[in-house]
Amino acid sequence: MTSEPARTRSVKKPEERRSELMAAAQVLFTEQGYESTSIDQIVDRVGVAKGTFYYYFDAKHDVLEAIVDDMSLTIVGLLDGIVDNPELGAIEKWEQLVLVVNNWKLARRAELMAVARVMYSDANLVWRTKFTALAMERAAPAFAKVIAQGVGEGVFATDYPDESAAFVLSMLQAANGKVAELMLFPDEHEDAEVIAKRYLDALHAGIQRMLGAEPGSLTIVDTDLIGPWFEA
């Protein structure tokens, strides 16, 4: 009679387990909301003990911060892949940056809306400010490269590509905040979608003037894609 081989417990690398917890939390936040999700539900979904969660995160809010941070790094990675393409001109790079980011956001609309509901609450003002500053710091080099290239090609006219990139990102973040408010609380505004498009049209005009670009030569945000964000 032969004995059955002893079962071995699967031991995962720390980064894999951390990613599993983040993925489970993100699904739950999207499905039922941040406030309605407990740490017990997150660990149950992964099939680990509660202590495992606290090995990687101090609190539920920390896993949300990690999710948003990961999103930020993903977007920057997408930007760098376009910016470093030597076959593209500055305007082409700009258009591809806009297209890739818009498509990435649309594909994750439900997840991003779940995050935005928490991020844009009054209680999270400090965290939102810190995250916004970090996101701008990460994205600024990519935008500065495209602007500098555009100056060299004669399609942009600015003596300060780095500073211009910082201002562009500041304007984008301000517009994002206003549009997020309109999306999250549409009932508080008459014609919220129309107002959002006006803000984005103003953003287009302001950035083009600041960079010295020809009117209509740059797409900042495709306003035709705004509609899906206001769907229930």
**pLDDT tier at 42 (50, 70, 90 boundaries)?**
very high
Q: What pLDDT is attached to residue 121?
A: 78
pLDDT tens, residue by residue, 75-92: 888 888 899 999 999 999
Distance CA 34, CA 98 (A): 29
Q: What pLDDT is attached to residue 181?
A: 83
- What is the average per-residue pLDDT within 134-141? 87
Q: Which domains does the chain have, with CATH numbers?
A: 13-58 (1.10.10.60), 71-230 (1.10.357.10)
Instruction: Give the pTM.
Output: 0.77
Res 5 pLDDT > 80: no
Concatenate the DSSP letters of all residues of 127-171 into one string: HHHHHHHHHHHHHHHHHHHHHHHHHHHTS---S-HHHHHHHHHHH
- What is the average per-residue pLDDT within 53-65? 93
CA distances from 131 to 135, 137, 176, 221 (A): 6, 10, 13, 21
Q: What pLDDT is attached to residue 1?
A: 45
Which of the pair, 128 or 196, is modelled with greater confidence? 196
Classify burial at 58, counting beta carbons within 10 Å of its beta carbon; exposed 0-12, middle 13-18, buried 19 or more: exposed
Res 56 pLDDT > 50: yes
pLDDT tens, residue by residue, 66-78: 988 888 888 888 8
Query: What's the mean per-residue pLDDT of the chain?
Result: 85
